[in-house]
Amino acid sequence: MKSGKQRRQEMNLDRAARRAADAALAQKARLEERIRKAAIARGEKIRSLASVSKKILVNAANLGPNVSCGWPEFVHRGYYVDLPFTCKACGVHEVWTATQQKWWYESAKGGVWTAAVLCRPCRVKERERKITARQEHFEGLERKQLNTKE
């Protein structure tokens, strides 16, 4: 049986290993970006980096917290790609663009294992439905409190 001190040491080692892996991914992304910019400045066309230059690169340092043991494919790949999906609500075929993914994962700090499942109109409808449901709930609570005071 391990003591609390031993468990804390193990957890600290795990955290340090994750931080080192995150730093290595971020460094790799920065290095690829520098190589790509240098190749463009020289006017060279490097086949493997030319395909990356059209992609939106992942900045692993900006990603939200990841409590899983691994990383999703886009982090290992180093760039985002457009992902087709079918809306769960209406069945329309949509594309989750690389720009939208970068915003979701790096700016909004969305979970790295999440993906788009609703098209934009369905997301707006769902948001409005939740707002009205929340308002009705609070109005009901207020009515209940008024009835109990009387």
Work out the mean pLDDT of the chain and round it to a whole number.
86
What's at 120, amino acid-wise? R
Residue 11 placed within a domain: yes
Question: Domain range for residue 40?
Answer: 4-118
- Helix then strand count (H, E) for the chain reads 5, 4
Task: Give me the number of domains the chain comprises.
Answer: 1
Residue 66 placed within a domain: yes
Residue 112 placed within a domain: yes
| Mean pLDDT, range 68-72, rounded to an integer | 89
Give residue-wise pLDDT tens across range 84-98.
999 999 999 999 999
Residue 138 placed within a domain: no
CB 53 within 8 A of CB 14: no
Residue 137 placed within a domain: no
Predicted local confidence at residue 45, as pLDDT: 55
Residue 146 placed within a domain: no
Residue 133 placed within a domain: no
Give residue-wise pLDDT tens across range 31-48.
777 767 766 676 655 555
Residue 106 placed within a domain: yes
What's at 95, amino acid-wise? V
Higher pLDDT, 17 or 104: 104
